[in-house]
Structure 1
Amino acid sequence: MTKDSSRRQTRAGLVVGVLSLSGVVVALQQTLVVPLLPEFATASGVSNTTASWLVTSTLLTGAVATPLIGRLADMYGKRAMMLACLAVMIVGCLIAATSQSFLLLVLGRSMQGFATALLPVGISIMRDVLPPEKLSGAVALMSATLGIGGMVGMPLAGVLSAHWGLSSLFWVTGAVGLVVLIALPFVLPESAVKTRGRFDFLGAIILTVAMTALLLAISKGTEWGWGSPVTLGLIVVGVGLLGSWIPWELRTPAPLVDLRTSVRAPILVSNICAVLLGFAMFISALAATQELQLPVESGYGLGLSASAAGLAMTPGGLLMIGLAAVSPKITRRWGAKTTLAAGAIVIAFGYLLRVVLTPTLLSISLGAAVVSAGVSFALAAMPTLITESAPLDQTASANSVNSLLRSVGTSTGSAVAAAILASSTVMIGAAAVPALHSFEVLYSIGMGVSVAAAIVTLSVRVDSPAPAHRIATPSESAKPAEVTELG
């Protein structure tokens, strides 16, 4: 190996490492708060229902901002938009860490939601600056960081809050974000691949309002009542605006989302699976941690603390790390479509184990680990399908739409899980806890949704794309110098 070749490989490794660390930032800001919502409620003097806005606000901001950030990244520079998202997230962490009121805490958490865009934009950068033969492995590793961050996040939350208080959660997340913010300009070259045209402000406004209305209705429907005027009104507004947004995007010369690109078979399959598997992914983590923390008196709960329940999910996170090196080999040999179908089938098998096995620490941890293994394959395959098929100057926006649709799936999964777990309960003392049957119903739904994703993937023909560096694009002639430098 020549000295120049060694230097390029080292540079490529640093790029992948820093971008993967940004994925850990995304996972931490999503998971750290979740197991400690009751503590936040007590500390802020609000109800548990009100405290859930600490999660809902981050979800809404991330889901809505991601497609907008993706389009801006394609137009004005991917590294620049990653730096902007990190800066907003860090300021949000500072506000949350130093806040003296619940409203400021929610504001800080909302700003942290901008970090969600780091993952799809980072994956699109990999396509621009890495040689094609390294792309699938890098995408798999960055996708697996969601599992790594989630694995660390839940037990870490308990340790941090116990020793340094609730504000330490935001100081730690902000510190990790600051490390990435400082490292990015030194390690990552700005991509020369940019799309021309004006930013679609009207399309952005319509999509923002529509998705906010729909996601808010889905997230809060169980709490507000699915037949309440507020929930129904939000659904009507969201659906109506989306109905006007689609023809606008088809007519405007510089759309926020190129819907014609989105219906290409590989991208369409990935987007459908994003909704279905986003639903299945969320149910697994939510149901497993709840089941582990149920009182022992129920006869099926294990009475674990939030930190212990998080540690029980560690095998799944470790499995995701290990499989980050396996899924690219499957993709290179049989294609990303096969990897995605395999992931969906493995997720379904993990849910089958949860249905048939008696709930014990081993069986719950095993079932969750198998689901995590399938998630590892799916999260690596979906952006690979998109990255191989989208025009070079649309990869950030295409991956961002996929991330948005995954948020729709997770929000729907949260709503369905809450409704099912509340529909069948047993009394333990003065408290009502979900009955074992409700968990079995939830796992069966997760299995069915995963099977549906596998059927969709296998039933749609996905032709093998051209190599990443030869995909025809409007700006193909403007291939960035960084590809040669890192290749």
Structure 2
Amino acid sequence: MVSTNPDDVRPGSVVGVLALAGIVAAIMQTLVVPLIGDLPSILDTTPSNASWVITATLLSAAVATPVAGRLGDMYGKRRILLVSVVPLVAGSVVCALSSSLVPMIVGRGMQGLGMGVVPLGISLLRDVLPPEKLGSSIALMSASMGVGGALGLPFAAAVAENASWRVLFWVAGALSLLVGFLAWRFVPAGRAGTGSARFDALGAVGLGIGLISLLLAVSKGSDWGWTSGTTLGLFIVAVVVLLAWGRWELRSTEPLVDLRVTARPQVLMTNAASVLVGFAMYAQSLVVPQLLQLPEATGYGLGQSMIAMGLWMAPAGLMMMALSPLGAKLSAARGPKVTLAVGSLVISAGYASSLLLLGSTWGLLVVTIICSGGVGLAYGAMPALIMGAVPQEETASANSFNTLMRSIGSSGAAAVIGVVLAQLTTDFGGHFLPSEDGFRTAMLIGCGVGLAAAAVASLIPVRPMESGAEAPGKNTEPHPASEAAA
């Protein structure tokens, strides 16, 4: 067990381990992308059924993230982070041994249960790092998600083309196990949990039913039909259940999510901006890979292989990491609200540049670098705004809810961009493909959403913190690691 003595805390080791956890979590999300076309034959199923391999991770992560945050506040963030590593390892093993659809879906669902490691890690930073290192560390860990996506896609593509697909999951399991060991060895326990003896199980079930209904309708609506009985029924269930869940949470003495805290203007507006940034972040990742891989004969496709596509997109993720120190400095000088607004404007500028740069691989590289640079600035600012407005004992829960808002934005992007590309098509040798106008329309939507995120960010009413809700880097209470050396 690692020592909890403040003098023994090594900020560099703590941040490095937690950043690695973020990278591994991001790799889990991109792991099956190179396998999408082969999954039906691998699992002896239809393409529609195979899509559940991706959907299962999305759904389980959406439910598990706020639950992990609440448990982290109750029983200790490091403890729940270590617990969250278990389904990452187990799910990877189940997937590696699978030969049919159901076990693969179960394994991918288990991997989604471990996605709470990211908000838990960000929240843990507030507990164990000295204030002067907190802002840059939050930005670095937030950027680690982009690095994981950048490295994971070409790696997964290379393995899928040159080795057994099972190797992907064995490597994922080994990396998850490594994260668990390093967290146990180098990450201190941080602030003790609240010791609350009551977990809001009914609230967790209600939130799970509501979120699953909503995300199923959004992610599968294009396949089932947006006006089909199944899709409309799921939307109705989501609205009814989430409204009932909200009423229950407001009346509960120990809620899963403290809606009174999330209703604070600073938290509410930050979460609203997070939905928009999540949308803007994901939209270009749906457009650019298709443009890179479509045949050159279309007149706008660039004919790249899966591996080449991953390599062309990799620098964008690395840009998120490179800009994290700049974002931390901007937040320290002007406040994270300004950083979030600037990041959103940079995202919008990246989309706007695509109107001139869609015709070449180098042009798309520039577009993705600009967009990802803006995402890096924005993602580093959002946790700082959240933690600056909530009591320390609710840090993990509030950060997890913010992560959920980003995920909902990403799911919304998948639905909206999917509809746009499905409606604006061209006939290519008897096959209907998204047209150039469809791709340009999608990028214009991303540009507009980026501008909307900047507008919302500019309206965030940052105010002096109440006691127990100190802003990162500005707390005046004794800190458990204030004497630690870098």
Bucket of the pairwise TM-score, normalised by the shorter protein? over 0.9
Match of residue 141 from structure 2 = 142
Contact 2:135 2:384 survives alignment (8 Å): yes
Structure 2 Cα separation of the partners of residues 420 and 174 of structure 1: 37
Please, what is the CA RMSD of the aligned residues?
2.0
Deviation, 1:467, is: 9.7
Structure 2 Cα separation of the partners of residues 398 and 375 of structure 1: 20
Contact 2:391 2:468 survives alignment (8 Å): no
Contact 1:89 1:111 survives alignment (8 Å): yes
Please list, as runs of the form range in 1=range in 2, the aligned pairs for 1:267-416 lying within 5 A after superposition. Answer: 267-416=267-416
Structure 2 Cα separation of the partners of residues 393 and 56 of structure 1: 32
Deviation, 1:357, is: 3.1
Please list, as runs of the form range in 1=range in 2, the aligned pairs for 1:209-288 lying within 5 A after superposition. Answer: 209-288=209-288
Deviation, 1:395, is: 0.4
Structure 1 residues 392 and 483 mapped into 2: Cα distance closer, same or farther (>3 Å)? farther
Contact 2:269 2:459 survives alignment (8 Å): no
State the TM-score, normalized to the length of structure 1.
0.94
Deviation, 1:46, is: 1.9
AA partner of residue 108 (structure 1): G
SS in structure 1 opposite 2:388?
A: helix
Structure 2 Cα separation of the partners of residues 393 and 363 of structure 1: 46
Structure 2 Cα separation of the partners of residues 119 and 471 of structure 1: 20
Match of residue 433 from structure 1 = 433
Structure 1 residues 168 and 106 mapped into 2: Cα distance closer, same or farther (>3 Å)? same
AA partner of residue 289 (structure 1): P
| Offset from partner CA, 1:237-291 (integer Å, 9 cap, x none) | 1100111111211111111111111122221122001111111111111110011
Contact 2:316 2:369 survives alignment (8 Å): yes
| Offset from partner CA, 1:419-459 (integer Å, 9 cap, x none) | 11111111221322100000111111111111111111112
Deviation, 1:48, is: 2.2
Structure 2 Cα separation of the partners of residues 306 and 270 of structure 1: 36
AA partner of residue 24 (structure 1): I
Match of residue 62 from structure 1 = 61
Structure 1 Cα separation of the partners of residues 55 and 485 of structure 2: 40
AA partner of residue 71 (structure 1): R
Contact 2:194 2:393 survives alignment (8 Å): yes
Structure 1 Cα separation of the partners of residues 466 and 248 of structure 2: 31
Contact 1:61 1:113 survives alignment (8 Å): yes
Structure 2 Cα separation of the partners of residues 229 and 80 of structure 1: 43
Structure 2 Cα separation of the partners of residues 12 and 166 of structure 1: 37
Structure 1 residues 132 and 428 mapped into 2: Cα distance closer, same or farther (>3 Å)? same
SS in structure 2 opposite 1:427?
A: strand
Structure 1 Cα separation of the partners of residues 138 and 8 of structure 2: 16
Structure 1 residues 29 and 342 mapped into 2: Cα distance closer, same or farther (>3 Å)? same
Structure 1 residues 468 and 382 mapped into 2: Cα distance closer, same or farther (>3 Å)? farther
Match of residue 454 from structure 2 = 454
Contact 1:132 1:467 survives alignment (8 Å): no
Deviation, 1:460, is: 3.2
Structure 1 Cα separation of the partners of residues 188 and 49 of structure 2: 43
Structure 2 Cα separation of the partners of residues 359 and 485 of structure 1: 51
Contact 1:195 1:394 survives alignment (8 Å): no
Match of residue 4 from structure 1 = none
Structure 2 Cα separation of the partners of residues 468 and 279 of structure 1: 32
AA partner of residue 450 (structure 2): S
AA partner of residue 305 (structure 1): S
AA partner of residue 359 (structure 1): G
Structure 1 residues 221 and 237 mapped into 2: Cα distance closer, same or farther (>3 Å)? same
Deviates more, 1:89-98 or 1:267-276: 267-276
Contact 1:127 1:468 survives alignment (8 Å): no
AA partner of residue 73 (structure 2): D
Match of residue 3 from structure 2 = none
AA partner of residue 294 (structure 1): L
Structure 2 Cα separation of the partners of residues 162 and 460 of structure 1: 47
User: Please, which runs of 5 or more residues in structure 2 have no aligned partner?
Assistant: 1-5
Match of residue 84 from structure 1 = 83
Structure 1 residues 253 and 10 mapped into 2: Cα distance closer, same or farther (>3 Å)? closer
Structure 1 residues 470 and 344 mapped into 2: Cα distance closer, same or farther (>3 Å)? closer
Contact 1:388 1:468 survives alignment (8 Å): no
SS in structure 1 opposite 2:427?
A: strand
Contact 2:388 2:469 survives alignment (8 Å): no
Contact 2:126 2:134 survives alignment (8 Å): yes
Structure 2 Cα separation of the partners of residues 235 and 331 of structure 1: 38
SS in structure 1 opposite 2:325?
A: coil
Deviates more, 1:272-281 or 1:333-342: 272-281
Structure 2 Cα separation of the partners of residues 73 and 137 of structure 1: 23
SS in structure 1 opposite 2:10?
A: helix
Structure 2 Cα separation of the partners of residues 483 and 96 of structure 1: 43
Structure 2 Cα separation of the partners of residues 315 and 185 of structure 1: 32
Deviation, 1:482, is: 5.0
Structure 2 Cα separation of the partners of residues 395 and 451 of structure 1: 28
SS in structure 2 opposite 1:389?
A: coil
Please list, as runs of the form range in 1=range in 2, the aligned pairs for 1:415-430 lying within 5 A after superposition. Answer: 415-430=415-430
Structure 1 residues 414 and 471 mapped into 2: Cα distance closer, same or farther (>3 Å)? closer
Contact 1:132 1:468 survives alignment (8 Å): no
Structure 1 Cα separation of the partners of residues 187 and 341 of structure 2: 33
Match of residue 156 from structure 1 = 155
Structure 1 Cα separation of the partners of residues 460 and 353 of structure 2: 28
Structure 1 residues 466 and 13 mapped into 2: Cα distance closer, same or farther (>3 Å)? farther
Structure 2 Cα separation of the partners of residues 153 and 338 of structure 1: 31
Deviates more, 1:316-325 or 1:371-380: 316-325
Structure 1 Cα separation of the partners of residues 480 and 141 of structure 2: 23
Structure 1 Cα separation of the partners of residues 467 and 167 of structure 2: 46
Please list, as runs of the form range in 1=range in 2, the aligned pairs for 1:32-111 lying within 5 A after superposition. Answer: 32-111=31-110
Structure 1 Cα separation of the partners of residues 378 and 296 of structure 2: 35
Deviates more, 1:30-39 or 1:17-26: 30-39
Structure 1 Cα separation of the partners of residues 469 and 45 of structure 2: 54
Structure 2 Cα separation of the partners of residues 202 and 482 of structure 1: 37
Deviation, 1:35, is: 2.9
AA partner of residue 349 (structure 1): A
Structure 2 Cα separation of the partners of residues 469 and 401 of structure 1: 17
Structure 1 residues 257 and 25 mapped into 2: Cα distance closer, same or farther (>3 Å)? same
SS in structure 1 opposite 2:193?
A: coil
Deviates more, 1:284-293 or 1:262-271: 262-271
Structure 2 Cα separation of the partners of residues 129 and 214 of structure 1: 36
AA partner of residue 403 (structure 2): S
State the TM-score, normalized to the length of structure 2.
0.94
SS in structure 2 opposite 1:325?
A: helix
Deviation, 1:417, is: 1.3
Structure 1 Cα separation of the partners of residues 264 and 391 of structure 2: 11
Between Structure 1 and Structure 2, how many residues are aligned?
477
